[in-house]
Amino acid sequence: MQIGKTPKLLSLIYVADLVQSMMEICGPCTSQKKIYFVTDGKSYSWEEIAKSAAEKMNTSIKILKVNESVLVPIAIIFEILAMFSSKPALFDRQRMIDIKQSCWTASPENFFRDFDFKPKFELAAGLACTLDWYLQKKWL
């Protein structure tokens, strides 16, 4: 499902690469105190992610485009229903703010340069490992 008229972009990193990056940070560091972003270095649309997952699962997908304004009343309904439950709403107006963002991306260039780091997993490989794990745990 694509929410809004334009594709949303996001940065990703496979967990093994994230752990390796954390190990790099734990070692000796000659750089100044900085904030680093760690990703695989690319930005992906949800459509790319869905297509990669569908390919791994040997299935096809159809992209459904939904106008953002349609989801606002749905979010309010979920919030009202949550008032009568002990569980929080799975979908609410705060999530709508998140969904409306055009991208959730970051540049890992400083981390790559300062720590000479290169992720080993690209989207397809990391997603394949993740989906295999989900299947093994019977979550899919």
**CB contact at 8 A, 128 and 56:** yes
What pLDDT is recorded for position 105? 95
What pLDDT is recorded for position 130? 96
Q: Within a 13 Å sphere around the CA of 134, how many CA atoms are in the beta-carbon half?
A: 11
Listed as ranges, residues in the chain with pLDDT below 50 are none
pTM of the full predicted structure? 0.77
What pLDDT is recorded for position 116? 92
Selected from 1.10.3720.10, 3.30.1330.10, 3.40.190.290, 3.40.50.720, the CATH number assigned to the domain covering 2-67+102-136 reads: 3.40.50.720
What pLDDT is recorded for position 24? 85
What pLDDT is recorded for position 79? 94
What pLDDT is recorded for position 122? 94
What pLDDT is recorded for position 128? 95
